[in-house]
Amino acid sequence: MTSRHAIGKALSSSFEQRSSSSSTSLRITPSRQTPPTAMAQQQEVLDTSLSATEPSPMRKKRIEEKEELAHLNDRFLEYIQQVRRMKDVNIHLETELHTVREQLGKEAESVKQLYEAELSDARTLIDETAKEKARQQILNSKSVARIDELEAELKAVQGRLDGLEAQLAAAERAAASSEAQRRAMADEKNRFQKQAKDLEHDVAELQAQIVSLRESMEAETLSKVDLQNNIQSLREELAFRKKIYEEELASLHSKLEKTTVESVDLGHLLDSRLEAAIEELRDKSETEIAQYKLEVEATYKDKIAILEGQSKKDVTAISRINTELHRMMSSLGDSSSEISRLQKSNEKMASILRSKEEELVSARQSHTEEVSKLVAELRGLRESYETKIREYEELMDIRIQLDQEIATYQALLHEEETRLHITVTPPREKRRSLRVPMSEPVPKRPRLHQQQQGSSPSPPLPPRGSYRSVTWIHRGSLCGSRTCPHRLRVWGSSRSNTRWRGAAKSCSGSTPSPSSREDTLSLCGAPRPRGLSTLPPTTSYGRQWRTGGAGRLERRQSLN
């Protein structure tokens, strides 16, 4: 402003010198302040007076010079008036500037206190976030180790289940073979039972034959005894008759000795006849007895020979039958023992098969329950792991946003301190500083997340996207316009390629084309465009800035 005053004074002095050195009688000074209408009237009078006579070339030249000087004088008067008006405006603006500087000094101090409190809260939140991050990393490592252990246990259980299934297959094969053996043994048992029935039938027939032979033998024995008794009785009868004959002979002899024969001839005749009769009777009886004896003996000998041969045959048959019976009984006993052994083996194999099937069913059920439990636990651990990862990503995104916000606040504070020439003691922890040049005053912004009564609700967040991790670079104004007097420019650096998907709309609704690696930030109500957030690939948080009344700055963030 002082340079403008100096330029105005220099121009006024130069015009005064030129006007005083001119040979014309017309003298124009800034103090006269001749209005433009009076100068025009004088020029018209001069033109009419000169037009009455024919001007000479020198006069024409003088007239042209006068007209030029008049024109320059008019322009100079307008310039002087403009300079005076600007002086008045400058004085007024200097007064307002002084007032605004005093006001801004107070506001900067209050804003500094607010920002320092907010920065302390943000640092505390960052520390808590770091602690939570470490805790989540520990939990994550434990969850990963637990998942590995569960997967190893699941593999072991699967291996045991495969082994049990192989054992079940082997047991089923053994059961099939034992069933085949059981069927073969059953067939053999049926064959043995059939043979045993046949042998029992043969034994019954042999026993019936033995009984009949015994009965016939007993009958023959009885007949033999009867014959022997008859022979004995005949012998006794023969001896008795012989005794009787002897007694009769003795009695006859005694009678003969006692009887007296009248005559010798009769006695001799009787004696001879008696002796002849006795001798004949004796011979006849002896012959009959010998013949009868021979016949009886021959008959008995034949019968005895027949009975002895039959008895020998019967004994041989009985011994053969007994041998066959003993053999059959032993074979039947062996078959019975073999059948009982096979039945016991079959029952044992059936019990083993049932126990194996029960063990397999129980093992399959237990392993199924264990596998389901392990799968449920693994699913729960995966869900917990994903939840912890999401929480970790949320915390990391919140930390990134807080770092960006702290950098923005530090830039704003640095700009205010630079503009107001305030020296601030550096904080305890070294932070990333941003240079924020700002030539216009910024309206007062109270503490973040502090809404007034009656303020509108927060706008919705932009959708998630996949962006790379970079350091934010903002370029914007308080209303999103490039020509806004409250323009804010925040400079930073980028660690990776940054892709920008849009720009903020200005106050008039037009969309300015943002420069490379710049992001427009609206601080006075203009909506922030969707898709301008630049965040890590695994996290995508939208940010939207708005004012909640009285030029207040608010930050809204949430998880998409």
Q: What is the pLDDT of residue 511?
A: 40
**554/316: higher pLDDT:** 316
Which pLDDT belongs to residue 290? 76
Distance CA 434, CA 415 (A): 9
Number of CB atoms found within 10 A of residue 29's CB? 15
C-alpha span between 36 and 75 (Å, rounded): 10
- Tracing tokens 């059939």 back to the chain, one arrives at 194
Query: What DSSP element (H or E) covers 128?
Result: helix 57-258
Q: Report the pLDDT averaged over residues 539-558.
A: 37
Higher pLDDT, 467 or 291: 291
Q: How far apart, in whole angstroms, are the C-alpha atoms of residue 555 and residue 458?
A: 9
> In this predicted structure, what is the pLDDT of residue 116?
81
Q: What pLDDT was estimated at residue 461? A: 41
| Cβ-contact 406, 451 below 8 angstroms | no
**Can you list the pairs that 544-549 forms with residues at least 24 positions away whose Cβ atoms lie under 8 Å?**
544/458, 544/459, 544/460, 544/461, 544/462, 545/521, 546/458, 546/459, 546/522, 547/523, 548/451, 548/452, 548/455, 548/456, 549/452, 549/454, 549/455
Residue with tokens 């045959």: 313
Q: Which amino acid is at 85?
A: R
Q: Which residue has the higher pLDDT, 467 or 260?
A: 260
Q: How far apart are CA 408 and CA 434, in angstroms?
A: 8
Q: Would you give the DSSP letter of residue 529?
A: P
What is the average per-residue pLDDT within 10-22?
47
Longest dimension (CA), the chain: 274
**Which tens digits make up the pLDDT trace of 423-476?**
655 544 444 433 433 434 444 444 433 333 444 444 444 444 433 333 333 333
Q: What is the pLDDT of residue 350?
A: 79
Q: Quick one: angle between helices 57-258 and 2-21, nearest 10?
A: 160
What mean pLDDT is predicted for residues 35-62? Answer: 60
The residue with greater pLDDT, 484 or 215, is 215
Answer for the pair 167, 356: CB distance below 8 angstroms, yes or no.
Answer: yes
CB atoms under 10 Å from CB of 477, counted, come to 25
Q: How many Cβ atoms sit within 10 Å of the Cβ of residue 492? A: 19
543/534 Cα distance (integer angstroms):
10
Least confident of 68-82, 265-279, 390-404: 265-279
3-state secondary structure of 557: strand
Nearest to 455 by CA among 518, 395, 525, 391: 525
Query: Rounded CA gap, 549 and 455, in Å?
Result: 7
pLDDT of residue 427: 47
Predicted confidence band of residue 104 (pLDDT cuts 50, 70, 90):
confident
Distance CA 420, CA 441 (A): 10
Q: How far apart (Å, rounded) are the C-alpha atoms in residues 147 and 132? A: 22
pLDDT band at residue 265 using 50, 70 and 90 as cut-offs: low
Residue given tokens 């004896």 in the structure block: 293
Give 45's pLDDT tier (boundaries 50, 70, 90).
low
Instruction: Report the alpha-carbon distance of residue 485 to residue 524 in Å, rounded.
Output: 12
> Alpha-carbon torsion 112, 114, 117, 121, what sign?
negative
Going from the C-alpha of 337 to that of each of 177, 342, 349, the distances in angstroms are: 21, 8, 18
Question: How, if at all, do strands 553-557 and 543-547 pair?
Answer: antiparallel
**Alpha-carbon gap, residue 182 to 346, rounded angstroms:** 6
Q: Give me the pLDDT at residue 42, please.
A: 55
Secondary structure (3-state) at 32: coil
Task: Provide the residue ranges of all domains of the chain, joining segments of one domain with +.
Answer: 2-98, 437-560
What does the DSSP 8-state code read for residue 519? B
Single-letter residue type at 534: T
pLDDT above 60 for 354: yes
Structure-token pair, residue 533: 């957030």
pLDDT in tens, 376-399: 888 888 888 888 888 888 888 888
Check pLDDT > 80 for residue 89. Answer: yes
What share of the chain has pLDDT > 90, as a percent? 0
Structure confidence at residue 491 as a pLDDT band (50, 70, 90): very low
Tell me the mean pLDDT in the region 305-325: 75
pLDDT the model gives residue 279:
77
φ, ψ dihedrals at 178, nearest 5°: -65, -35
